[in-house]
A and B are shown apart, each in its own frame.
Chain A
Amino acid sequence: MPFQLMLNAFLAVLWMFLSNSFTTSSFIVGYLLGLIAMFAMRRGFSSRFYLGPVIALVRLSIRFLYELVVANIEVLAVILKPRLDIQPGIFAYETTLKKNWEITLLSMLITLTPGTLVVDISDDNKTLYIHALHMPEADEAVAAIRNSFEKAILEVSR
């Protein structure tokens, strides 16, 4: 994927030299033309075409901001409720992610999403120990959210 980005920038510079105008706009035109050429030749690359992961990353960050707002409203409800009826607990969550940066990203997302906080990651990077603010409802609903997060991260890194 970094190779494809480099190649696209190189094609844009090549376009600037061909058209003999060294401006930002001609760079952008060359970049778009290079993108089209690379999309046509995408079977020649060993990895997949790089716009897919980029779009997945943008979607992941939008999702992340949305979850951050939802988490805050949930914490707000817990704090401002007159009676304190939470049931906190720590549960283990098996992850299928392998690389270190994926696990870091997943645990950051978990920490900033509704009602969950990563307390520990096991030594073999397979289990996340998550503190949940409200155990009974968190267990299944949060696991569903988490699976979609994991899928989104896999979409980026695949």
Chain B
Amino acid sequence: MIAINEIFVVAFALIGAFFSIVAALGLIRLPDIYTRAHAASKSATLGVMSILISVIIFFVTEEGLFSSRTFLGILFVLTTAPIGSHLIARAAYYSDVPLWKGSVQDDLSKNKEHVMPKKRVNRDN
């Protein structure tokens, strides 16, 4: 007989591993850095989260101890992963990394004009 908690542990671990593989495949397949940031931020977050959830369920049911550090790990991954990918995309954009074949580029036309002079001012100082 397979207990129901084992089903949950295995399911969450498999889902997490699968989404991690998808994130890695996305890094290989997608064309430019911005679309890669999509794959890295979303799939990796959910992958790591469900692996950690499976760890929590396993230790609660098998050993009877609730590891609060794993729970904190989920919270930290959830809060820091989007900010990391946002900062990487932003740094890439302002170092003039080109988009793949973007159809609409508002940022390029409007905001860059008024950020670039500030950059120059900073360089002079």
Of residues 88 to 105 in B, which have CB atoms within 8 Å of A's CB atoms?
89-90, 93, 99-105
Chain A: CB-nearest residue to B49: A68
CB distance from B100 to the nearest CB of A (A): 6
Which label, helix, strand, loop or mixed, suits the secondary structure of the B interface? helix
CB distance from B25 to the nearest CB of A (A): 6
Chain A: CB-nearest residue to B81: A112
Cβ contacts under 8 Å, A135 to chain B: 102-104
Report Cα–Cα, A98/B30, bound state, in Å. Answer: 35
Choose among A72, A90, A117 the residue that contacts B102 (Cβ–Cβ < 8 A). Answer: A90
Report Cα–Cα, A21/B118, bound state, in Å. Answer: 64
Question: Known interface pairs A72-B42, A90-B102, A133-B35. Does A122 touch B111 (Cβ–Cβ under 8 Å)?
Answer: yes
Cβ contacts under 8 Å, B26 to chain A: 75, 78-79
Q: Are B29 and A79 in contact (CB under 8 A)?
A: yes
Identify the stretch in A10-18, A44-52, A80-88, A147-155 within 8 Å (CB) of chain B at 4 or more residues: A80-88
What sequence of 0s and 1s flags, for each residue 64-83 of chain A, a beta carbon within 8 Å of any chain B beta carbon? 00001101100110111000
Cβ contacts under 8 Å, A117 to chain B: 34, 37-38, 41, 85-86, 89
Of residues 69 to 125 in B, which have CB atoms within 8 Å of A's CB atoms?
79, 81-83, 85-86, 89-90, 93, 99-108, 110-111, 114
Q: Are B82 and A127 in contact (CB under 8 A)?
A: no
Q: Is A35 part of the contact surface with B, judged by Cβ < 8 Å?
A: no
Which label, helix, strand, loop or mixed, suits the secondary structure of the A interface? mixed
What sequence of 0s and 1s flags, for each residue 23-56 of chain B, a beta carbon within 8 Å of any chain A beta carbon? 0011001111011011101110110000000000
CB distance from A89 to the nearest CB of B (A): 4
Q: Are B37 and A76 in contact (CB under 8 A)?
A: no
Q: Are B85 and A111 in contact (CB under 8 A)?
A: yes
Question: Known interface pairs A91-B104, A112-B82, A135-B103. Does A120 touch B29 (Cβ–Cβ under 8 Å)?
Answer: no
Report Cα–Cα, A69/B15, bound state, in Å. Answer: 11
Q: Are A79 and B22 in contact (CB under 8 A)?
A: yes
Cβ contacts under 8 Å, B93 to chain A: 119-120
Other than the given A88-B100, A123-B114, A129-B111, 19 more pairs (CB < 8 A) read A68-B45, A72-B42, A72-B46, A75-B43, A79-B26, A79-B30, A87-B101, A88-B35, A88-B99, A88-B101, A90-B34, A90-B106, A91-B104, A117-B34, A117-B37, A117-B85, A117-B86, A131-B38, A135-B104
Interface residues of B (CB under 8 A from A): 19, 22, 25-26, 29-32, 34-35, 37-39, 41-43, 45-46, 79, 81-83, 85-86, 89-90, 93, 99-108, 110-111, 114
